[in-house]
Amino acid sequence: MHIALLSRNRNLYSTRRLIEAAEQRGHTARVVDTLRCYMSITSHHPSIHYKGEEIEPFDAVIPRIGASVTFTAARCCASLK
């Protein structure tokens, strides 16, 4: 399973533990900083980009977002589903 962790900081204890738990179970986990994402909304190919590259589809998304970026992260999370 390919998992996206929406988090501002991959070094936070909870984020690190989620990555470790996913990898122990044979999954891959990628930390995605929602403030570094942008959405390209077109009629024929809507997409989300992270650090300039289109994000590949994920099997699951785990939001780990704080109050300061709730709206941005919620939009990103909704677009990834």
Backbone angles phi, psi at 36, to 5 degrees: -105, 10
Query: Sign of the C-alpha dihedral, residues 35, 31, 53, 51?
Result: positive
Structure confidence at residue 37 (pLDDT): 80
Nearest-10 Cα torsion for 53, 39, 10, 57: -70
CATH topology of domain 2-80: Rossmann fold (3.40.50)
Per-run averaged pLDDT (10 residues), the chain, 81 residues: 89 94 96 83 79 86 73 63 59
Structure confidence at residue 81 (pLDDT): 59
- Is the backbone of residue 19 left (phi > 0), alpha (psi -120 to 50) or beta? alpha
What Rg do the C-alpha atoms of the chain give, in angstroms?
13
